[in-house]
Structure 1
Amino acid sequence: MVSLMIHRRWIRAMPAGAKLAALALISIALFLVQDPLILAVVLAATLALLAHLRALFLLRTLRPVGIMLLLAFAAHLFLGDWQLGLVVVLRVAVLVLLATIVTASTALSEMLVVLDRLLAPLRWAGLSTRPVSVAIVMTLRFVPLLAARWQGLSEAWRARSPRRPTWRLVTPFILTALDDADHAATALAARGAFARR
């Protein structure tokens, strides 16, 4: 399996807090932008960043996301609002790519430390913040991993059948994703990841 980590030194050296803060600010800014031309420029800049990081291989793992975006655009086109559909697709594409860059260049333990600090005020109210931190980190981390799982199922299908897989992969994908989630939860519980903090 191809490694999903980005090994360019400068981005790995950036503090996890800085990367997550930048991702949050860019996300807010993107939802304020309604011009598809501006969003297209931002998408091009994001792809250029991926190329600079020598991480264009991540695009292969995000193919299922691309399919869903095309379906979303087709739905907007059918409803007669293609411009809104284009805005939505471009916005989500940028956000997914940026989130993938952050997760592929940041250790899970570093993100947990940052989120624990951000959620610290909730502990004053007696709430356990570690499960929330783990859930956020695992959601970000599982996006490229689930995409890689879909790619693996597609390759296995093509090796056994001349027909295109399309919807036939949905059921095994969901079952394997649930199995992966169950194994991950068991492993995290065994390591005390959900211990009260």
Structure 2
Amino acid sequence: MLTLTSPVETWAHRWPAGPKLALLALATTGLLLLSAPVLLAGAALATAGLYMTAGRGFARTGARLLWPLWPFVLVVGLWHLWTADLTGGAAILLRMLTAVALANFVTMTTRLSDMLAVFQGLARPLSPLLPPRRLALAFALVIRFIPVMLQRMAQIEASWRARSPRPPRWRVLVPGVLAALDDADRVAEALRARGGAG
């Protein structure tokens, strides 16, 4: 649970965490500044090409990590169909999918310890108020847990569909929250076993 680094070794695994996180910040900022669907589609294709440079197996794993976003895609798509704003809807969906895919790429190719070191360095000016290691660990765990929880929700929904013909909808919220609490408890135990966050 403490790591989502892909076991498939790629060229991106050899890049330091700092430059990768900086490029991710620049790329997501650029996506927010773009509004034309054509440009955003180009960014999405470039992201897909980035995954393909790491191999088909790596790209398939990256595509699976995007699958849990389908409820958001459905809601945003239906809303913009209803409001007849197809251009705006396409821009939002392309921006969201590309940003998450880029974040997943960094997550899959960066060790948690390397991310922790970067965040710890950035948090050093706040040391009089908060221990940098704790703040860095919090940032790193948030980045790691987003795809984990999306994947867990997809598993819960799949389990529901295997047992009931009705759509899951709100019924998966309670199991999802319980799974999140269980995962948090396991991570806390793992951290305590390793000496804590301090």
* TM-score range relative to shorter protein: 0.7 to 0.9
TM-score calculated relative to the size of structure 1: 0.85
- Residue type of the alignment partner of 2:64: R
8 Å contact kept, 1:130–1:193: no
8 Å contact kept, 2:17–2:114: yes
Q: Equivalents in 1 of 2:121, 2:5: separation in Å?
A: 27
Q: 1:13: Cα distance to partner?
A: 0.7
- Residue type of the alignment partner of 2:52: A
Q: Equivalents in 2 of 1:82, 1:140: separation in Å?
A: 31
Show the counterpart of 1:114: 118
Give the share of equivalent positions with the same residue, in percent: 39
- RMSD in angstroms over aligned alpha carbons? 2.2
TM-score calculated relative to the size of structure 2: 0.84
Show the counterpart of 2:30: 29
Q: Equivalents in 1 of 2:155, 2:139: separation in Å?
A: 25
Show the counterpart of 1:178: 181
8 Å contact kept, 2:160–2:168: yes
Q: Provide, for residues 52-74 of structure 1, a one-character-per-residue CA deviation record: whole Å limited to 9, x for no partner.
A: 32322232233221321331232
8 Å contact kept, 2:12–2:109: yes
Unpaired stretches in structure 2, ≥5 consecutive residues: none
Show the counterpart of 2:138: 135
Q: SS at the partner of 1:116?
A: helix
Show the counterpart of 2:63: 59
After TM superposition, the structure 1 = structure 2 runs for residues 51-90 of structure 1, keeping only pairs within 5 Å, are: 51-53=52-54, 54=56, 55=58, 56-90=60-94
Change in Cα spacing, 1:46 to 1:164, as seen in structure 2 (3 Å) is same
Show the counterpart of 1:105: 109
Show the counterpart of 2:100: 96
Aligned residues: 192
Q: Provide, for residues 166-191 of structure 1, a one-character-per-residue CA deviation record: whole Å limited to 9, x for no partner.
A: 44323212221222123223432443
Unpaired stretches in structure 1, ≥5 consecutive residues: none
Q: Which stretch shifts more, 183-192 or 56-65?
A: 183-192
Change in Cα spacing, 1:43 to 1:157, as seen in structure 2 (3 Å) is same
8 Å contact kept, 1:4–1:144: no
Q: 1:36: Cα distance to partner?
A: 1.1
> Which consecutive aligned stretches of 4+ in structure 1 deviate over 4 angstroms post-superposition?
none
Q: 1:145: Cα distance to partner?
A: 1.4
Q: Provide, for residues 24-71 of structure 1, a one-character-per-residue CA deviation record: whole Å limited to 9, x for no partner.
A: 111111111111110011111112222332322232233221321331
Show the counterpart of 2:157: 154
